Structure 1
């Protein structure tokens, strides 16, 4: 088994603070426009590009803003003295993998400053933090019955909702979740399968291979599961667990206690090798669990990706390009089927379809330049000049 990546994978923080009235007006206008055009609206504030959605979020947040694949999701409430906790930020996994937690601690106050939002470091509440370890373990087979947990831990399954949450197909378990939000959760799942099934996750191949290249190892053979099966052990501490059990709210609390949070979690919930011993608590940790726990004991060290930001953006652009091309092809196949086109005639049919689309475009009520401009907002944050 080999560690391909380890580090913080998610971080949510709320702040006591209000957005200024000027930003509120611009966000409201952008949100209204997004609702009318059915696409996110791009808004620039003091060098910060915000992709404003047409809806907010639960908890009274009127605005939901994305700062791009190497940024975060920001949630803002409308200014209201009776509801002072008006700011929340959710950090994405990709910039955390690239830069580590230190980046987040610089990025958040810097962005707030640019948006003219005043907050106090003592008026904050860390509401979620995730730590993940990616392990190359092709021979590992996940078995939900190998999990044991403290009696107070919640384990969920399809047949017993209060016990274990299990996901799988074709007789193979691919994911087991122990615990629930807003408490603590431990998840062991097939990360390779997730990466292959979700285009926006494919960048993880490059992150893993960059790690292997640094050690002088060959790239993973992504099409050969028996050589490239990657399992992720993910520890999640949610709001109630952080606040009530560990009294963690501020960065100082975080620095002092977060390592113990995950270490205790790895002991309270374990993946083991079953034996004939009827006392399950005496069962020894399985090798994959021992390896994951060792990483937590290592002062929560992070493996930062050596991929440059430009390289990451290029990878993300290529992923989106391939997705759109696949959708384009799929529509072409559907149209060919509707027209009764044979497979041998598809290439010429596709060429003719392109000509038909050109004529249709010229008849559209809006000029193509305006339509491209409107669509560009959706992908603007992938382009270098906006990031």
Structure 2
């Protein structure tokens, strides 16, 4: 077993601030355009590239938006004197993996200032914190029945974890989730499968960079026998953050989070089942002991192994590949409808540019307008 990533995997914040009216007007226009085009759209505000979403979020948040080069989703309310908590920011795993907690926090603070937000000293309310450990463990088999609760945990603590969800296929368990939000939650799941299914191309880059830094060979994600990655995630929701140590802002997070994460990793344990009828005496599985040690020693540690610009370059290439696939699929369909055969396709492709230009000449929407539409959809990806 080899640790190939460790770090915060998500942080949700409610912010005590009123959304500036100029930003509200920008977001209203962006939301209307996004709904009309049925896709999120990019625009510029306060010198920042901002992507406006088509909808808001429950809880009175009218707008959803993203800021280029900052991996978070923002939710904003229309200004109301009776509700000072006008902004919610959900920071994603990619941002935290590439930049770590401290740099991410500094970037967030700078963006808040640039966007015109003003926060009082108690203006940050942390609502959720996720911490992840990714382990390359090709031989590991996830057993839902191997999870036990620490013998010293009281009934109230154990009751937190009575909600258990299991997923799998082909006779193989791929995830086990214990507990529920907004309390405490532990999840162990097949991260390799999720990365491949959702095409999260940044993670193989991060994992292999970690292996390279350790002097180890990279792995090929297409071969599950050698590239099986399991993620152990420890999650603390709003209730868990408040109930024991009253974790609310950054100060209390740094002061108390270590103890809370250590406790969670102890209260739920993945074991190696034995013939002993007392499950609490079963030995911890090595993958869990590794996780506990990592949480205890590397919670706030961040080692940058992949430059963010390398991931952004990969984003562009992935989008180009997606569009190329659409072009090929549509070209084949067009050739078929034109009565052509596979042997005719190469000649058809040579004639395709002239067909495209002829179509544009006859269409009232010119190429300049179309390029502007492309910029509205994709300028945030390429940074121009």
Q: Same fold (TM over 0.5)?
A: yes
CA 275–376 in structure 1, closer or farther in 2 if over 3 Å, else same: same
C-alpha separation between the residues in 1 aligned to 2:279 and 2:340? 63
Q: Corresponding residue for 1:158? A: none
Q: Which runs of 5+ in 2 are unaligned?
A: 150-156
C-alpha separation between the residues in 2 aligned to 1:241 and 1:105? 22
CA 359–87 in structure 1, closer or farther in 2 if over 3 Å, else same: same
Identify the range of structure 1 (326-335 vs 114-123) with the bigger mean alpha-carbon deviation: 326-335
For the aligned residues, what is the CA RMSD?
2.2
Deviations 1:10-45 (CA, angstroms, capped at 9, x unpaired) = 111011110122222222222222222333332323
C-alpha separation between the residues in 2 aligned to 1:224 and 1:360? 45
C-alpha separation between the residues in 2 aligned to 1:265 and 1:50? 37
Q: Corresponding residue for 1:329? A: 328
C-alpha separation between the residues in 2 aligned to 1:237 and 1:340? 60
SS in 1 for 2:195: helix
1:222 Cα shift? 1.9
Q: Corresponding residue for 2:154? A: none
Identify the range of structure 1 (279-288 vs 45-54) with the bigger mean alpha-carbon deviation: 45-54
CA 272–27 in structure 1, closer or farther in 2 if over 3 Å, else same: same
Q: Corresponding residue for 1:252? A: 251
Q: Corresponding residue for 1:228? A: 227
Q: Corresponding residue for 2:291? A: 292
Identify the range of structure 1 (144-153 vs 264-273) with the bigger mean alpha-carbon deviation: 144-153
1:140-151 mapped onto 2 (5 Å cutoff): 140-149=140-149, 151=158
1:328-367 mapped onto 2 (5 Å cutoff): 328-333=327-332, 343-351=342-350, 356-367=355-366
Q: Corresponding residue for 1:159? A: none
Q: Corresponding residue for 2:24? A: 24
C-alpha separation between the residues in 2 aligned to 1:328 and 1:69? 28
SS in 1 for 2:10: strand
Deviations 1:270-314 (CA, angstroms, capped at 9, x unpaired) = 211111111111111111111111101105143433222221211
SS in 2 for 1:71: strand
Q: Which runs of 5+ in 1 are unaligned?
A: 156-162
SS in 2 for 1:174: strand
Identify the range of structure 1 (201-210 vs 335-344) with the bigger mean alpha-carbon deviation: 335-344
Deviations 1:165-187 (CA, angstroms, capped at 9, x unpaired) = 22222111111111222112211
Identify the range of structure 1 (80-89 vs 322-331) with the bigger mean alpha-carbon deviation: 322-331
| Contact 2:68/2:383, CA 8 A, preserved across alignment | no
C-alpha separation between the residues in 2 aligned to 1:136 and 1:14? 35
Q: Corresponding residue for 1:83? A: 83
SS in 1 for 2:88: strand
CA 293–350 in structure 1, closer or farther in 2 if over 3 Å, else same: farther
C-alpha separation between the residues in 2 aligned to 1:196 and 1:279? 39
| Contact 2:42/2:375, CA 8 A, preserved across alignment | no
SS in 2 for 1:43: strand
| Contact 2:187/2:234, CA 8 A, preserved across alignment | yes
Deviations 1:220-279 (CA, angstroms, capped at 9, x unpaired) = 122221111111111111112212343111111101111122111111222111111111
| Contact 2:26/2:45, CA 8 A, preserved across alignment | no
Identify the range of structure 1 (81-90 vs 212-221) with the bigger mean alpha-carbon deviation: 212-221
Q: Corresponding residue for 1:281? A: 280
Q: Corresponding residue for 1:59? A: 59
CA 135–274 in structure 1, closer or farther in 2 if over 3 Å, else same: same
| Contact 2:175/2:188, CA 8 A, preserved across alignment | yes
Q: Corresponding residue for 1:178? A: 178
Q: How many residues align?
A: 377
C-alpha separation between the residues in 1 aligned to 2:362 and 2:102? 53
1:375 and 2:374 equivalent? yes
1:197 and 2:204 equivalent? no
C-alpha separation between the residues in 1 aligned to 2:88 and 2:233? 23
CA 142–362 in structure 1, closer or farther in 2 if over 3 Å, else same: farther
C-alpha separation between the residues in 2 aligned to 1:350 and 1:271? 57
| Contact 1:191/1:231, CA 8 A, preserved across alignment | yes
Q: TM-score, structure 2 length as denominator?
A: 0.91
| Contact 2:34/2:54, CA 8 A, preserved across alignment | yes
1:267 and 2:274 equivalent? no
| Contact 2:43/2:376, CA 8 A, preserved across alignment | no
CA 278–379 in structure 1, closer or farther in 2 if over 3 Å, else same: same
1:46 and 2:46 equivalent? yes
Q: Corresponding residue for 1:306? A: 305
SS in 2 for 1:31: helix
CA 349–250 in structure 1, closer or farther in 2 if over 3 Å, else same: same
| Contact 1:181/1:238, CA 8 A, preserved across alignment | yes
Q: TM-score, structure 1 length as denominator?
A: 0.90
| Contact 1:132/1:233, CA 8 A, preserved across alignment | yes
